[in-house]
């Protein structure tokens, strides 16, 4: 029997509490209708819980040690330069507008995304299935697409690929995405493309990425963006209407609705550079609620001694570094050393409560094992955000990136699918790609199978 087509909706930055508070209230009627027909649970994001890292994990079914995207801003050791994916306009200016555009639009997929990672778009295309996506950052696929702008190179993405009007595989009549971001024009563009695709049954798998909720939540706070969530609900309803109504739609499509990360309230910003001032050979890079320190050969301190300097830094809750075959987590002067035990668990020495966050050990280990990560990683304390390259922050609003539960939990709603792997224990956003592949009977990458075991 041929499996139903599948639509994955990713609502950037949506917190579980926000969605749960509206289900059944009449405020989000389409999400409520889907919840009545499906299965809902909370899932765990990755670390750092920042959009490029999270979307790469959703696309590949792997943590950062697999897909190799470490942060919103990081140091490329091979090229000897800073990579900035767009933390803020000030950060983009500091990194160079042209280079940031090239890194975000092209290089993330063409050069930065790990060669050993397999995206759902690649795996499904290899199995002869039609894939589609709108505005999704980790888009690497098998089909070559030409940009509408002459200075952007060809890229490889899903068969039907729509990326902020810069790449469009088909003429859909969708409006210009960037005409008014604050008024929701980006999601309006994605929704118009989605309707076009649904009315034509133009895919087997379609990923609809809605980014405006995260934008509003950064400004107003994690649970203070109801109007934008209602716009997301209306966007999904628009697809359902194009599919003939809820009954007809669910006969044709399985559905996954999820977020990539949560958010927590920001009360104060801090400079990670100020914490290591005077230490030669340290490059501090930060954005939102996670920071990285890169140590050059000129640094006379090792990772442990640099981490020690952060003990009195109020904005830093957990500091991570590698020491031999172990990872070390420091918090308030206490330590935990840990390493995989070869049996899907960890051998630990010290106070395990230091990483008493959702999936804290696995997420921390994977972040440190990312070959592009800094030598010292920092997870922010509640209420704090690290200023980015341009000094930007979200004080008074919401932010994310740290290990804390609020940054790390996401809603996961599935309709017409088997339970995700690990649904009777922990569930992660990295379980979604294997779930999709299993739905279509497509081989799951070995790194994802090892996690499921």
Short-list 127, 170, 227, 188, CA closest to 445: 127
Per domain, the residue ranges of the chain are: 5-69+113-265+404-452, 268-393
pLDDT at 149: 86
Residue 423 has what pLDDT?
A: 47
Collapsed DSSP state (helix, strand, coil) of residue 119:
coil
**pTM of the full predicted structure?**
0.96
User: How confident is the model at residue 179, as a pLDDT?
Assistant: 73
Percent of the chain with pLDDT over 90: 87
Give the integer Cα–Cα distance in Å for 354 and 359.
Answer: 12
User: Considering the domain 5-69+113-265+404-452 in this protein, what is its CATH number?
Assistant: 3.40.720.10
**Would you state the structure tokens that stand for residue 50, as one six-digit string?**
């920042």
Q: pLDDT tens-digit profile of 160-184?
A: 999 999 999 999 888 888 777 667 7
HSE-up of 312 (CA within 13 Å, CB side)?
A: 4
- Answer whether residue 452 shows pLDDT above 60: no
At residue 213, the pLDDT reads 94
- What pLDDT score does 453 carry? 44
381-406 pLDDT tens trace: 999 999 999 998 999 999 999 999 99
Neighbouring residues of 96: CB distance < 8 A, sequence distance ≥ 6: none
Q: What is the DSSP letter of 304?
A: H
Burial class of residue 446, CB neighbours in 10 A (0-12, 13-18, 19+): exposed
Residue 302: the pLDDT is 95
∠ Cα 316 322 325 (to 5°): 150
What mean pLDDT do residues 134-153 have?
Answer: 94
- Has residue 451 got a pLDDT over 70? no
Give the pLDDT confidence score for residue 428 in this predicted structure: 96
Given this structure, which CATH class describes domain 268-393? alpha beta
Arithmetic mean of pLDDT over the chain:
93
What does DSSP assign to residue 267? -
What's the pLDDT score for residue 1? 60
Q: To the nearest 10°, report the CA torsion of 31, 33, 38, 42.
A: 30
pLDDT tens digits along 61-95: 999 999 999 999 999 999 999 999 999 889 889 98
């Amino acid at each position: 029997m041929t499996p139903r087509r599948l639509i994955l909706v990713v609502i950037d930055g949506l917190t579980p509490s926000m969605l749960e508070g509206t289900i059944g209230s009449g405020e989000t009627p389409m999400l409520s209708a889907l919840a009545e027909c499906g299965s809902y649970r909370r899932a765990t994001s990755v670390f750092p819980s920042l959009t490029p890292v999270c979307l790469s994990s959703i696309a590949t079914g792997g943590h950062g040690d697999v897909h190799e995207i470490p942060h919103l801003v990081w140091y490329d050791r091979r090229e000897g330069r800073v990579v900035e994916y767009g933390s803020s306009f000030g950060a983009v200016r500091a990194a160079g507008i042209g280079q940031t555009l090239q890194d975000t639009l092209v290089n993330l997929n063409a050069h930065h995304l790990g060669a050993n990672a397999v995206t759902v778009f690649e795996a499904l295309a290899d199995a002869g299935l039609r894939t589609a996506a709108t505005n999704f950052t980790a888009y690497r696929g098998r089909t070559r697409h030409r940009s509408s702008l002459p200075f952007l190179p060809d890229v490889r993405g899903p068969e039907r690929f729509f990326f902020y009007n810069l790449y469009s595989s088909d003429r859909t009549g969708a409006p210009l995405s960037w005409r008014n971001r604050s008024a929701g024009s980006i999601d309006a563009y994605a929704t118009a493309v989605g309707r076009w695709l649904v009315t034509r049954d133009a895919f087997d798998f379609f990923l609809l990425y809605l980014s405006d909720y995260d934008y509003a939540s950064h400004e107003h706070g994690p649970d203070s963006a109801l109007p934008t969530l209602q716009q997301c609900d209306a966007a999904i309803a628009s697809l359902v209407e194009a599919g003939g109504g809820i009954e007809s739609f669910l006969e044709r499509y399985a559905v996954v609705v999820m977020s990539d990360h949560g958010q927590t309230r920001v009360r104060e910003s801090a400079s990670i550079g100020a914490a290591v001032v005077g230490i030669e050979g340290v490059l501090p890079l930060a954005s939102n609620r996670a920071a990285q320190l890169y140590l050059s050969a000129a640094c006379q301190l090792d990772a442990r001694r640099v981490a020690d300097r952060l003990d009195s830094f109020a904005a830093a809750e957990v500091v991570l570094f590698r020491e031999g075959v172990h990872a070390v987590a420091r918090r308030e002067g206490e330590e935990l050393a840990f390493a995989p035990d070869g049996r899907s668990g960890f051998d630990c020495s010290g106070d395990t409560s230091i990483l008493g966050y959702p999936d804290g050990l696995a997420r921390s280990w994977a972040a440190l094992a990312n070959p592009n990560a800094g030598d010292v990683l920092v997870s922010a304390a509640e209420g704090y955000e690290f200023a980015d390259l341009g000094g930007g922050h979200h004080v008074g609003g919401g932010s994310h990136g740290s290990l804390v539960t609020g940054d790390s939990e996401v809603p996961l709603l599935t309709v017409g699918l088997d339970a995700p792997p690990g649904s009777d224990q922990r569930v992660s956003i990295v379980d979604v790609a294997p779930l999709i592949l299993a739905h279509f009977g497509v081989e799951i990458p070995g790194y994802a199978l090892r996690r499921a075991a």
